[in-house]
Amino acid sequence: GDVSATAKSYMIYQEGIYVGYKYYETRYEDFVTGNGNAGDYAYGDIVAYPFGYGMSYTNFDISDMNVSYNAADDTYTVTVKVTNTGDMAGKKTVQVYVQSPYTDYDKQNGVEKSAVSLVGFGKTGMIEPGASETLSMTVNKRDIATYILDAGDYYFTAATDAHNAVNNILAAKGYTVESTNGKMTADGNADLTYTWTEDALDTTTYATSENGTAITNQLSSADPNLYEGIEETVTWLSRSDWNGTLPTETVKLALTELLKKDLKDIRYDPADYESVDMPTLGAKNGVKLYDMIGLDYNDPKWDELLDQMTFDEMNSLIGDAFHWTMPVKSVEAPGTRDENGPQGLTASLLGNDKSQLTATAFTSEDVMAATFNTEIMTEIGKVIGNNCLEADIACLYGPGNNIHRTPYGGRNFEYYAEDPFIAGTICAAEVQGIQSKGVYVYLKHVALNDSETSRRGVNTWLNEQTAREIYLEVADKAITDGGAWCVMTGFNRWGATWCGANSNLLNGFLREELGMRGMCITDFSGSSQYMDLVDGLIAGSDIWDSPMPKIHTTKAANYENDAYIVTQMRNAMHHILYTVVNSNAMNGWSSTDTLKTITPWWQTAIYALIAVLAVLTILCAWQLSKALKAKKSMVDTAPAADQK
């Protein structure tokens, strides 16, 4: 009874950054080299197919690796020669992995490093038997840094998969199967490695995001060791001591008073916020949304437009957005049709004519990522965008952006991979294709929706490095490289705070660090009271995926005279309308167009039926009342002898 039912389950990501191959390959290297108390680690008994493994109808040889650094854009260019040594024509994927030094500084400051991390890849064209192709791949140095850039030796390797990458780097360090008494699973190829040394620890170059925003810890409230409301200490898995830090039992968290307070469904208290002036509502400035086409988000004309909106219009648009956005008459803003689509327009399953949203059903996202082919993913994105145009859809709920934390994730088919680099890079390519058609995407579900079981309100606890390097990296690349406009948040909590009410996530990370331009929508909110309207608005959520606006309308009615909340609603409207005006929703609109309310025949028929039923109900009640009165009269006038 201390907290709601949706707040009672929790998960702690004790494995930290060591998800998938980053665990298997890192512990393997430490086992081979005798570091980190790795114990007796039998890699071959645990891993059947390493990350990145693929099969072909032919064979290839990779050779002639060369690396050059481009100071102008802080990138490396990696080239290799790929030769078809088999009997059939085919394409070959080459993967570039990096190994960063794991230093005393890292151990002292709790910074973890994977033995190898994917930082680049390329795919050849069709190569005939006996022929070769030189493949060029680009690596952004920012993808190598972990908060900081350590001093020490760094390794690039061109590899066929993550395990092959580790063996190549071990070979460059002088290790062989023979010299390690069979600990290595195979000899690597040192010729496919490149080594360089960073002379000094660099804590400044990558201390700002690509748009120049200072990077600070945004997510400490989700780290149980930094959150004051938790008494227990969580040990994160560390390669400094594998056997000593590997979780062996569940950490049980006590429900403290602060934790109970932070898990409340509604946390807004006007006393916590400074008073502000009530925004202008219902002005007659004569500005239409059409007039905003091409204007910057900060253009002063937006104030004139937003001044025209009424409280009821804002409340309707924010709280009633189940696969649509409502039209807004005061600014002549069109409504939009929004549909689900992590793997294409999901509504394609409904029929064959336009009214039933015909579209192409593509394969699952894990197969998309397995292509290692950004060009084809951009083309797929264009097809999805065209499908949306044909069906008059302005927004796609997708692509999916979560991580395959385990092979048993209930929605793994909607998410790309266990590795955030391939997931983010493929997603960015797909997003570019979709949005080239004027369809804005909602990356979903940002973030930590990595389990379907008990996901409504689950408390997810993890540290900042893990959050940034694994679970947010997909959205990072999709926004910074792919230009994704919007995100859909999850059902889950970051620590004790619902995803959609986490200002550091939505405003600090997505909008400020990454420069996201559009809006944040909730996952299907339905009757979920913890996905509270005002808490979400304050934190940067803009619109609720809900077909039942009364849930929020009832609450919002209490805030009509609350200037602070009305101001947050106005901010949300700015995000929403800025997104809509830059989408295909404005296709065909002119400066003279206006909205007209049309009541369809079926709705008129329903209203008429309701009216008839209401009259019949009144008549029935009247007849029942008459009958009861008559019966009472008969009882009152009956002879006394008959009354028993």
Q: What share of the chain is helix, strand, coil (3-state, %, to 5)?
A: 35, 15, 45
- Tell the burial category of 561 from Cβ atoms under 10 Å away from its Cβ (0-12, 13-18, 19+): exposed
Q: What is the pLDDT of residues 448-489, one digit of tens each?
A: 998 888 888 999 999 999 999 999 999 999 999 999 999 999
> How far lies 47's CA from each of 41, 80, 552, 639, in Å?
11, 28, 49, 95
Contact between 496 and 534 under an 8 Å Cβ cutoff? The reply is no
Per the structure block, which two tokens stand in for 424?
A: 């983010």
Looking at per-residue pLDDT, the higher value among 567 and 344 belongs to 567
Helix axes of 420-435 and 374-390: crossing angle, nearest 10 degrees: 40
Res 622: pLDDT: 77
How far is it, in rounded angstroms, from Cα 550 to Cα 546?
10
Res 601: pLDDT: 55
Neighbours of 126 (CB within 10 A): 11
Q: Is the pLDDT of residue 535 over 70?
A: yes
Res 525: pLDDT: 83
Res 597: pLDDT: 59
Q: Is the pLDDT of residue 389 over 60?
A: yes
Assign 627 a pLDDT band (cuts: 50, 70, 90): confident
For residues 116-127, average pLDDT: 98
Pairing outcome for strands 493-494 and 497-498 = antiparallel
Share the mean pLDDT of the chain.
91
Q: Is the pLDDT of residue 618 over 60?
A: yes
Q: What is the pLDDT of residues 203-262, one digit of tens each?
A: 999 999 999 999 999 999 999 999 999 999 999 999 999 999 999 999 999 999 999 999
Percent share of the chain, pLDDT over 90: 79
Q: Is the pLDDT of residue 195 over 70?
A: yes
Looking at per-residue pLDDT, the higher value among 343 and 629 belongs to 343
Q: Is the pLDDT of residue 350 over 50?
A: no
Res 242: pLDDT: 98
How far is it, in rounded angstroms, from Cα 52 to Cα 404?
14
Res 308: pLDDT: 98
Looking at per-residue pLDDT, the higher value among 197 and 605 belongs to 197
**Distance of alpha carbon 500 from the chain centroid:** 12
Q: Is the pTM of this model over 0.75?
A: yes
Contact between 380 and 373 under an 8 Å Cβ cutoff? The reply is no
Q: Is the pLDDT of residue 643 over 50?
A: no
Q: What is the pLDDT of residues 316-336, one digit of tens each?
A: 999 999 999 999 999 999 999
DSSP character string of 68-96? EEETTTTEEEEEEEEEE-SSS-B--EEEE
Nearest CA to 189 out of 155, 214, 213 is that of 155
